[in-house]
Structure 1
Amino acid sequence: MTVRFFHTSDWHLGQFFYNHSRHYEHEQFLTWLLEQIKVKQPHALLIAGDIFDVINPSSQAQKQLYQFLADAHEIAPHMQTLMIAGNHDSGYRIEQVEPLLEKYNAKTVGVIRWNDDRTLDLERLILPIYDEHKQIVAWCIAMPFLRSAEITGFNEHTTESQSAIAYLHQQLIAEAKRRKTDDQALILMSHAHMQGGETSDSERPIIIGNEEALSTTLFDDVIDYVALGHLHKPQKVQHPHIRYSGSPIPLSFSEINYKHQVVEVTIDPAKDQNKFEFEAIAIPRSIQLHKIKGELTEVMQRLKSLANEVIQNIDHREYVDIEYHTATPPQPNLRQQFEDALPKDRYRLVRISRQYLSNENNAEMKKSISLEPPTPEKLFQQIWQKKGYSVDDDVSKDFLSLVAEAQKQLEDDHRN
């Protein structure tokens, strides 16, 4: 029996981007996704964690999710929405609304639970996926973000994080194998950092106890598809059927070039070969991001050459990040100069950063490598100059007097 589902993750509903709400962008994405659901009518929608951006999401962000679930259920009543908690989510919070979710044919797995005899509560973690005729076409192992306190210390297999993670996977896959028939697919949904995954600068580190990222060897060959969340760049991990769907909108400027997508997956267990097929459905970007880099004159020129059609609603305007390169300290009114160079009423200048360029003398000095340990004075000069300030005699004297005072204090402490 063939199963068709959408794989998506890392919605981060409620995110603020340099104090600007992303509500409009998320609304545009969800409207687009509803249209895809209406046309494609998948058996299931998988949301692989980080549904919200913070553990205590705003009422607006929660309303956005639940309104989407209501609308999705109305246009595709047979479709199940299966969600897991990510590291940004409160697993307990998203499980509290189970009665509401049931009305919309949705289920969420927020935390790992254990039975009184310290065995794993498998029932809640292995979810059936039905077709239009209420026949089970697939099973989904739902693996939320694994917090060390929730998975260690329960038995001899869970003494530390890595052994507990391996134990969880072994137990769940073994039970899923017992339940599934040959004509049913097996899917694993997980929010984790896998070895070999390419990160951006917007992902909060989630590696448990500074352990290594997880290995794909955790996944048995019987699994037809692994739906991953956490990394925002769409990508496969070693195998085509082990994939991150990525985030639906760019969550930082480092994600400008990401091809945001929802992955449409079809699995036909009856086939001996090519059982798994997928299509990446590109998500249109509702608000553009611009990262402008270069020396000041180049930056000014590029700002002036940006598109100048007015966008009336400030919440719909495009984001601009400027990184300018200079060898001199910044002018006091530089931000205003950047604002004046930008076409009016179209952009939001959200970040300005400066990369200090060394002058020619410093560049020559850098060519010769000194093996001498730097003195406090030299270290101070380097940092001070990197900040864009000149080191004059008065500054040097002030610093040296502080060093002398600190040295005297150390000597007094040693005598005492």
Structure 2
Amino acid sequence: MLKILHTSDWHLGRRLYGQTRYETFAAFLNWLYDCIVKQQIDVLIVAGDIFDSMTPSNKAQALYYEFLGRISQSGTCQHIIIVAGNHDSPSLLDAPKDVLKFLNVHIIGTACENIEEEVITLNNKNNEPQAIILAVPYLRDKDVRKSNAGESSTQKQSQVVAGITKHYAQATEFAAQKQNDYLKKYGKKVPLVATGHLMAIGGKTTSDDGVRDLYIGSLGGVSANMFDPIIDYVALGHLHVPQLVGGNEHIRYSGSPIPMGFGEANQQKQVLLIEFTDEMHIKPINIPTFQRLAQIKGDMDHITQQINQLKTLNEPVWIEVIYNAKQIVSNLSEQLHQLVQASDIEIIKINNTQTYQKILKQTEQSESLHDLSREDVFARCLETHDISEDQRTELMACFQEIVYEIEHDDVRAE
């Protein structure tokens, strides 16, 4: 039997509206270690976005390396596969890969020039192949297409999807050859597992999960049909909601292990256990809640009632309040903070919809940049300066392209 555990999107170092979450990340990694030991996991796959930033803090990196060290010493997990996501610095992940390889930690931060290097054979304790991994990281624009002057966003996206499809096809072809060779030599089929950090067509997101558009001018567009049927399981990262892709049981997002925003507050987080015996079995393992979040929406009476109910839990709760009644409450923040005094509840964010109805005419103190996306800020600048509608569309597209280039420039690379 071969046991693989699929997780992704740790986002170590991510803050929630200014609140650090290192204790929560540490609690998750401790739980993950215990889960690996308890379930006797052979292979751990982390499908990208290990860190939340290309320049992670020392504390976030310490959590990462301490976890890898503990797993390597546990004597349980034989191999760890880590691929980079769009939030990660490929060069940061790749830097220690030659050292970590001695601990059976296999890292692919950057798409390999020789695509065969992304196809990794994992051997068991008898030095026989137990799995073939297509360890494909997040494929950046420059990895899969050549830039040509004058291209439209649609043309760029089409070429990106074609490039990603070609990349997987070439890697799968080489992996299939390996699988066939092992079948002849050992008389058994070796499972073929692929990784990916991408946006699939029809993928579910939440409003404040921090998932970025991966390619210019598009929310994604990779079809499940891209993955060859010869692949036994596809371990995906990027989307924070656990889900199947195109209804296929064997193509899955594990989702993020902790809520990345209040929109995920009621979402059951999980990792995925894949067991290979005569058949493949997939079992979700629920992750406990390490820091309770709550999103409360309504008028003042409803908000008060919900907060009072949370008080009865007698445990720390971070909450977001969305006040959406028509009646204007001038001292909303003061009233809310009085409600949670002498309790374990902390109000992290207050969203007063009355504020948004006065956008650009009057800004209230309760609104901050945390409430706005970059596109919101830029759109307001365009409106403030009376830019015409025709020009706004073009300028917004240019703005998004600039942001894309900034985010995909690995600042740690030479």
**What's the TM-score, normalizing by structure 1?**
0.78
Shift of the 104–343 alpha-carbon distance from structure 1 to 2, 3 Å rule, reads: farther
Deviates more, 1:232-241 or 1:333-342: 333-342
Report the Cα offset of residue 267 of structure 1. Answer: 2.1
**Taking every aligned residue pair, what percent have the same amino acid on both sides?**
29
SS of 2:231 mapped into structure 1: coil
Distance 1:385 1:26, change over 3 A: closer
Confirm or deny: 8 A CA contact 1:207 1:213 kept in the other structure.
no
How many Å separate the matches in 2 of 1:100 and 1:244? 29
Match of residue 223 from structure 2: 215
**How do 1:197-208 residues align onto structure 2 when only pairs under 5 Å count?**
197-201=203-207, 202-208=209-215
Q: Contact 1:296–1:324 at 8 Å: present in 2 too?
A: yes
Quickly say closer, same or farther: Cα 1:220–1:28, change in 2 above 3 A: same
RMSD of aligned alpha carbons: 2.7
1:200-235 Cα distance to aligned partner (Å, 9 max, x none): 221433332335420111111100000000010111
Distance 1:18 1:111, change over 3 A: same
The residue aligned with 1:188 is: 194
Tell me the CA shift for residue 196 of structure 1. 1.8
- Letter of the 2:142 counterpart: A
In 2, the alpha carbon distance for the partners of 1:78 and 1:287 equals 27
SS at structure 1 position matched to 2:164: helix
1:46 aligned to 2:52? Answer: no
Amino acid at match of 1:289: L
What's the secondary structure of 1:292's corresponding residue?
strand
- TM-score, normalising length: structure 2: 0.78
Residues 193, 231 of structure 1: 8 Å contact kept: yes
Match of 1:290 in 2: 294
Unaligned runs of 5+ in 1: 115-120, 312-316, 358-379, 388-405, 407-416
> What's the counterpart of residue 245 of structure 1?
254
Paired residue for 1:147? 140
CA distance in 2: counterparts of 1:163 and 1:287, whole angstroms: 41
Conserved 8 A contact 1:186-1:225? yes
- Structure 2 residue matching 1:280: 3-state secondary structure: strand
Q: 1:236 aligns with which of 235, 241, 244?
A: 244
Secondary structure of the residue that 2:205 maps to in structure 1? Answer: coil
**Partner deviation per Cα, 1:165-184 (whole Å, 9 max, x = no partner):** 12101110000001113420
Label 1:243 to 1:381 Cα distance change in 2 as closer, same or farther (>3 A). closer
Equivalent residues in 2 for 1:334-373 (5 A)? 334-356=332-354
Partner of 2:235: 227
Change (3 A) 1:305 1:209: closer
Report the residue type matching 1:234 in the other structure.
P
Q: Does the 8 A contact of 1:292 with 1:302 survive in 2?
A: yes
Paired residue for 2:273, among 248, 264, 267? 264
Larger Rg: 1
Structure 1 residues 382 and 194: alpha-carbon distance in aligned structure 2, compared to 1, 3 A threshold? closer
3-state secondary structure, aligned to 2:135: strand
Q: Is the 8 A contact 1:194 1:215 kept in 2?
A: yes
Q: Per-residue displacement from partner, 1:134-177 (whole Å, max 9, x unpaired)?
A: 221110101111111122239xxx99322211210111000000
Aligned to 1:128: 121
Structure 2: how far apart are the matches of 1:19 and 1:291? 17
C-alpha distance after superposition, 1:354-396 (max 9, x if no partner)? 2349xxxxxxxxxxxxxxxxxxxxxx99985999xxxxxxxxx
Secondary structure, counterpart of 2:216 in structure 1: helix
